[in-house]
Amino acid sequence: MATGRTHRPATRSRGIPEATVARLPLYLRALTALSERSVPTVSSEELATAAGVNSAKLRKDFSYLGSYGTRGVGYDVEYLVYQISRELGLTQDWPVVIVGIGNLGAALANYGGFASRGFRVAALIDADPAMAGKPVAGIPVQHTDELEKIITDNGVSIGVIATPAGAAQQVCDRLVAAGITSILNFAPTVLSVPDGVDVRKVDLSIELQILAFHEQRKAGEEVGAPRRPRGRFHRRPWRPIARPPAPPAPTAAGKDLTGTCPP
Ligand SMILES: NC(=O)c1ccc[n+]([C@@H]2O[C@H](COP(=O)([O-])OP(=O)(O)OC[C@H]3O[C@@H](n4cnc5c(N)ncnc54)[C@H](O)[C@@H]3O)[C@@H](O)[C@H]2O)c1
């Protein structure tokens, strides 16, 4: 998924590379599924396949957590779930506010998967006065006038922006001024934030565009000319460039008059 990170070094303070941090949720998702099936242990190869990651990379990632597994047995599923959850800060409850309760904001509010992953939707905020007080997913929508108070009262540090792009920066500024230090942005715009504030961006249309690029490639390979060999050192044999035939010389009757008319 297309996401962005701002104002963070490539290695986090405890020495875990940012790329490893980005893979921890993938391991956690796969491990949670194993745990739900009461699977006690898992090999690095099995877990790597379930998480869609290379197994050598997985072993390296787990070495940052001080988790090396047991030869011939593998990793203890429950313990690894605990270790990764702790590393991701998921052993505590994170209150989250969603700003912009339209189609997307309402869908996010209704998504039950956040709670099981340690995130509690503390408040829903929208600028439309007609929405104030209306319940969405059992939570009454509050007006943006209340934004600062809601954040302070609920001790919220994570905000989700699901407003139109034109409103997103202004919403972001207010969230940050109110004390929010992590933002998940769904609006198709780049947000500017001060140091110390993390922004992750989600844009499904970018993901679709990347898939479209690969689809186009696949379609070209199916119907097109024989495949070009792959490899760094492959060079196409030189061929002269086929130039289109020169256009006929203009006649008095058929002159190109582009740019010759007076203004
Ligand atoms: N990232 C993605 O993959 C993805 C997918 C779908 C939509 N989006 C984006 O998410 C955003 C919301 O889409 P939607 O379909 O839910 O739109 P929508 O029009 O249904 O909802 C937008 C909501 O934001 C509210 N709003 C407007 N200005 C506001 C402000 N200043 N403060 C608080 N609330 C405000 C509106 O009252 C409305 O309820 C859009 O920017 C859209 O482009 C992103």
CB of 147 within 8 A of CB of 99?
A: yes
CB of 100 within 8 A of CB of 167?
A: yes
Phi, psi of 49 (to 5 degrees): -65, -45
Distance 113 CA to ligand 1 centre (A): 21
Give dist(CA 61, CA 44) in Å, integer: 11
- In order of start, what are the domains of the chain with their CATH numbers? 18-87 (1.10.10.10), 94-206 (3.40.50.720)
Residues in the annotated binding site for NAD(+) = 100-105
Residues 163-205: tens digit of each pLDDT:
999 999 999 999 999 999 999 999 999 999 999 999 999 999 9
Query: Which residues, judged by CB distance below 6 Å to any ligand atom, belong to the binding site of ligand 1?
Result: 99-105, 126-128, 144, 162-165, 167, 170-171, 186-188, 202-204
**Over the chain, what is the mean pLDDT?**
84
Torsional sign, CA 41, 44, 45, 47: positive
Residues 141-167: tens digit of each pLDDT:
999 999 999 999 999 999 999 999 999
Is the pLDDT confidence value at 48 over 60? Answer: yes
User: Which atom of ligand 1 is nearest the CA belonging to 101?
Assistant: 39
Which of 183, 186, 207 gets mutated to test ligand 1 (max ligand atoms within 8 A of its CB)? 186
- 168 or 225: which carries more pLDDT confidence? 168
pLDDT band at 245 (very low <50, low <70, confident <90, very high): low
* CA distances from residue 184 to 50, 78, 109, 180 in whole angstroms, order as listed: 26, 29, 14, 11
Distance 220 CA to ligand 1 centre (A): 36
45: its two tokens: 């190869």
Q: Is the pTM of this model over 0.90?
A: no
